[in-house]
């Protein structure tokens, strides 16, 4: 095999290696963080944040403040825990309800209707002890999601979420999570009443991840595409003697 092919195969092997905290290889870095590989250890950033009994105590290059031996200890302890969603071992997130003994993997949270709060202590709650929405009413009959324009459930639920400020805006969890990833912390707000502070607090509490960055539509690439000048005539019959590519220096 050529050297270049060997190098490519080795790179693919590195990318496909599973995280030792969630047992998954390829996940969306926007939701689960980037995968770090060092000294034989492979973990996602967010899996580190949510792992129970793991705390940032020292500045360790490459491990965002976590001690290598502590991470390995958590991995070993998790081997004795069964995920309440998928039934596999290695569950590193314990429910924060003290009387609950359930644990789960970070990627299993959505499927198991668990909630993981992406702020402060990065708390995790199983489906039975998760926080409930601070919305006093249910959606009106035939209410549509403001993002995908498809019907939501008849009552607030894990998958149907509402704005706590106006209590009239409703959307699917998957839709509002996608919108949060696109909007970022600076532009994420209720699509109906435009409330930002209360809306963001409630979405964070209910497990929506809001990245601390500008909106995706304000990236350099997006702005560059808006400033690009059209340089070719698209008329069905171009009458310019110089052809479709002809352009004046000014005007």
In this predicted structure, what is the pLDDT of residue 1? 41
Determine whether domain 17-130 maps to CATH 3.40.50.300: no
Q: Which helix (H) or strand (E) holds 170?
A: strand 170-172
Q: What is the rounded distance in angstroms from the CA atom of residue 218 to the CA atom of residue 89?
A: 42
In this predicted structure, what is the pLDDT of residue 2? 44
Tokens of 111: 């499927």
Q: Which helix (H) or strand (E) holds 116?
A: strand 115-116
Say if strands 93-94 and 103-104 run parallel, antiparallel, or are unpaired.
antiparallel
In this predicted structure, what is the pLDDT of residue 6? 40
In this predicted structure, what is the pLDDT of residue 55? 77
Which residue, among 109, 40, 32, 34, has the nearest Cα to 72 in the 3D structure? 40
Full pLDDT tens readout for the chain, 251 residues: 444 444 343 444 445 789 999 999 889 999 999 998 888 889 999 998 999 888 776 555 556 677 888 889 999 999 999 999 999 999 999 999 999 999 999 999 999 999 999 998 899 999 999 999 988 899 999 999 999 999 999 999 999 999 999 999 999 999 999 999 999 999 999 999 999 999 999 999 999 999 998 898 876 555 455 555 666 777 778 888 878 777 765 54
132-221: what CATH class? alpha beta
Q: Could you tell me the residue ranges of all domains in the chain?
A: 17-130, 132-221
What is the per-residue burial (b if ≥16 Cβ within 10 Å, else e) of 96-107?
beeeeebbbbbb
Burial class (CB in 10 A: 0-12, 13-18, 19+), 147: middle
Tokens of 122: 């990065």
Q: What is the rounded distance in angstroms from the CA atom of residue 30 to the CA atom of residue 23?
A: 18
Q: What is the rounded distance in angstroms from the CA atom of residue 244 to the CA atom of residue 174?
A: 45
């Amino acid at each position: 095999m050529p050297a270049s092919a060997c190098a490519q195969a080795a790179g693919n092997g590195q990318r496909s290696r599973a995280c030792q905290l969630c047992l998954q290889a390829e996940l969306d870095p926007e939701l689960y963080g980037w995968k770090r590989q060092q000294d034989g250890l492979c973990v996602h950033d967010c899996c580190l944040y949510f792992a129970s009994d793991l705390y940032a105590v020292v500045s360790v290059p490459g491990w965002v403040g976590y001690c290598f031996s502590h991470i390995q200890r958590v991995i070993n302890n998790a081997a004795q825990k069964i995920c309440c969603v998928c039934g596999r071992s290695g569950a590193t997130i314990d429910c924060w309800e003290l009387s609950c003994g359930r644990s789960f993997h970070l990627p299993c949270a959505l499927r198991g209707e668990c909630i993981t709060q992406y702020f402060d202590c990065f708390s995790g709650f199983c489906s039975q002890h998760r926080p409930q929405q601070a919305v006093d009413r249910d959606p009106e009959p035939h209410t549509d999601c403001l993002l995908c324009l498809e019907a939501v459930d008849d009552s607030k639920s894990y998958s149907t979420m509402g704005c706590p400020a106006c209590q009239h805006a409703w959307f699917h969890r998957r839709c509002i999570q996608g919108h949060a990833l696109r909007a970022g912390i600076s532009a994420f707000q209720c699509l109906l009443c435009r409330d930002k502070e209360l809306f963001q607090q409630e979405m964070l509490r209910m497990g929506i991840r809001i990245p601390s960055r500008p909106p995706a539509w304000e990236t350099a690439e997006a702005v560059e595409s808006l400033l690009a000048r059209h340089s070719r005539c698209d008329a069905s019959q171009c009458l310019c003697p110089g052809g479709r590519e002809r352009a004046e220096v000014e005007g």
